[in-house]
Structure 1
Amino acid sequence: MSTLLVIGLGIVGLAVLAVGADQLVVGAGRLATVLRVAPVIVGVVVIGLGTSAPEFVVSGVAAVRDDAGLALGSLVGSNILNVTLILGVVAIVSPVVVRSSVPVREAPLMVASVAIFGAFALVGMKFVAGVLLAVLTVGALVLLVRLSRVPPDDPLPDDVAAFVEPSPPPGRWWVEAVRTLLGLAATLGGAQLLVANASTLAHRWGVSDTVIGFTLLAGSTALPELTTAVQAQRRGQGDLMVGNLLGSNLFNSLIGGAVVGLAAGEDTIAPFGFAAVTAMVGAGVLAWLLLKRGNRITRPEAAVLLCSYALMLPLLISANP
């Protein structure tokens, strides 16, 4: 198979993944509304889990295929990219303002989740680690819902409602059920195609799976976060934009890590590079500290985030030739 064909198939996989994840999110959101699930749950699933779905699906597929470097590299790279490149690009265009609760609540929870995932990645992901991260995922979801303090019968907040599609008529719920299942199938199929061809390219070009993971795959699977961030900032919803990026890192670390650990089964996925894990945790801490300074990300601070990403990437590539 020619290299050009491999690249083409990878692009097709990315397109199928993006469309499938989008339809999965839309279908799940509409079904949740029809089934009268609490609005805050809709918000968390659609915006937080929904935009993170490509990351942990790709990582799970890569882990099953024994591509450990791709599996962990995609999660680590996405966690770095979200709070440096994406946040920096959005804030350099228009300064981001958030409420005081974000640096106090979501940001430290995100940093803690990333640090726990990083610790497991350093010693080698195992089935037990996957189970522990799955338990922590449930705990984090419960905590986020409790902290939201939104009564079950309240309408969706404006910043969340802007991203939730109108619900279908009650009699057409099966259409959204089919949409959700097809979206899930497309997401899994697209992820398989993307991972397989990314791995092939890595081997042909003599590049490690890890580098492909935290560059090509991380950038590809971060597209939903980038799109949501741009739309939220255009609407003046700084809290939603930052919350989506922080929530994505939280779910990438907990759910993504759980999927990789559980997929490992009786095997142990080799420890990940110290430099990459340190960069991932450091990026999260840097974003938290900048938000904590004045509940905003100014243009100079956005430049700091962009420079951090520009400095981290060559170091990560050189550390994982």
Structure 2
Amino acid sequence: MTLISGTISVHGYNKHMEVPQTGIGLTVVLFVMCASVVWISGARLAYIADDLADRFQLAKSLVGLLVLSLATSLPEVATTLAAAVRQTQDLVLNNLFGGIALQTAVLAMSDFWARGAITNYPRKANHALEATLLVFLLSTALIVVSVGETFVFMGVGLGSALIALIYAGVIVLLRRYDGQNDWVPVDLPDPEELPFPAPSGLAGTSNRVLFLQAAFACLAILVFGLLLVVFATRIADQTGLGEGFVGVTLLAGATSLPELTTTITAVRIGAYTMAISNIFGSNLIMLVLVFPADILFRGGPILQNASTTVLLSLSFGVAVTAIFLTGLIVRSKPKIGAFGLDSVLVLVVFLLSILAYYHVR
């Protein structure tokens, strides 16, 4: 798949879809339209995933980690691989790593719908394990970026391959750990008192129709996620903000819309563990995407000579994940309004990250 100057084409086919050049105003409008489709499709996926978990008696944390996170990461997959083919290193890395702090902030915002700190809800320690392993992977990427690739094979760095290998081990470990070591939740609200009730209306829908709806939603996320990278790149050029700042803010935000809408929807229907695992699982996927991006990027190891923004985004990713890890371990914590203290700290750190990105742009 190739993406050059606003033209998307697929090798092996004569037909191609051209995206005409647009002014800044129309570019922003088209960007918002694509993001809206991604948002709506992501919300539908949350309902479908919750319903399928109930029908097939699957743990919702597992569905969030392995299924929902993969589906909602399709924009990251599309934009990352397309940007890697275009040889735009900054856009690839800032989109991936910048989205980690952003998506963790999304989880923090869900406290409003959860009626208290969402980190009080998990009954198992597997979410704390997810956060711990995510910090380990982020630290590994940070070390590789800081030290540089010491071994390169056919243009692919050892560091990105190591991240992919560790990711595989993480998924195996989390799968084996699921169902063990129960924790006791505290301060759980009455399910009847949940605000903003959001019935899915899927009770009478057949499994076949549910799977078809899920496939259609995933396709919409993939196609419009791919278009997002075209318009985000144009906005970077037309505004003069640069691909680094746009990648770590605007593009990362747009491609994180499925995580935002699925997380909020999951919390509204009481699927708290699925919401948490969806975010942590998506963050893990964004790290492992470095490996296929490295294969497609022909300018050398993609983690080599990364910008200061990349280092900052990894560091902020470690910070916000560590805060939530602490929140998962400390079961009863102070609240500020509807938000737990850990969520407030995550949101503060995220806002500071935006200022830092702008400062070094």
Shorter-chain TM band: 0.7 to 0.9
Residue 259 of structure 2 aligns with an amino acid whose one-letter code is E
1:127 is the counterpart of 2:151? no
1:206 is the counterpart of 2:244? no
Q: Superposition pairs for residues 75-154 of structure 1, below 5 Å?
A: 75-83=96-104, 85-92=105-112, 94-96=115-117, 97-98=120-121, 99=123, 101-102=125-126, 104-122=128-146, 123=148, 127-128=156-157, 129-149=159-179
Which structure exhibits the higher relative contact order, with contacts defined as CA atoms closer than 8 Å and separated by 6 or more residues?
1
Q: Is the CA contact (8 Å cut-off) linking 1:13 and 1:190 kept in structure 2? A: yes
2:269 to 212, 217, 235: 235
Query: Aligned equivalents of 1:308 and 1:74: distance in 2?
Result: 18
1:257 to 284, 290, 294: 290
Cα distance, 1:304–1:92 mapped onto 2, change above 3 Å: farther
Q: Which deviations, in whole Å up to 9, do the C-alpha atoms of 1:260-290 show, x marking residues without a partner?
A: 2222246233413233322222222222223
Give how far 1:107 is off. Answer: 1.6
Residue 133 of structure 1 aligns with an amino acid whose one-letter code is I
1:70 is matched with 91
SS in 2 for 1:214: helix
Give how far 1:7 is off. Answer: 1.7
For these two proteins, the number of residue pairs brought into alignment is 304
SS in 1 for 2:307: coil
Give the structure with the higher percent helix: 1
2:35 is matched with 14
Q: Superposition pairs for residues 280-299 of structure 1, below 5 Å?
A: 280-294=317-331, 298-299=335-336
Q: Which deviations, in whole Å up to 9, do the C-alpha atoms of 1:298-317 show, x marking residues without a partner?
A: 43333222222222211121
Residue 62 of structure 1 aligns with an amino acid whose one-letter code is A
Residue 342 of structure 2 aligns with an amino acid whose one-letter code is E
Q: Is the CA contact (8 Å cut-off) linking 1:21 and 1:186 kept in structure 2? A: no
Residue 259 of structure 1 aligns with an amino acid whose one-letter code is P
* Greater Cα radius of gyration, structure 1 or 2: 2
Please give the TM-score of this superposition, normalised by the length of structure 2.
0.69
Identity across matched positions, percent? 24
Query: Aligned equivalents of 2:63 and 2:203: distance in 1?
Result: 12
Give how far 1:202 is off. Answer: 0.7
Residue 134 of structure 1 aligns with an amino acid whose one-letter code is A
SS in 2 for 1:73: helix
1:196 is matched with 230
2:187 is matched with none
Q: Which deviations, in whole Å up to 9, do the C-alpha atoms of 1:206-246 show, x marking residues without a partner?
A: 11211111111121122222222222332344333222222
Structure 2: stretches of 5+ with no match in the other structure: 1-21, 181-198
1:156 is matched with none
1:226 is matched with 260
Query: Aligned equivalents of 1:112 and 1:65: distance in 2?
Result: 30
2:14 is matched with none
Q: Superposition pairs for residues 176-187 of structure 1, below 5 Å?
A: 176=211, 180=215, 186-187=220-221
CA-atom RMSD in angstroms:
3.8
Q: After the TM superposition, which of the residue ranges 141-150 and 69-78 deviates more from structure 2?
A: 141-150
Q: Is the CA contact (8 Å cut-off) linking 2:24 and 2:235 kept in structure 1? A: yes
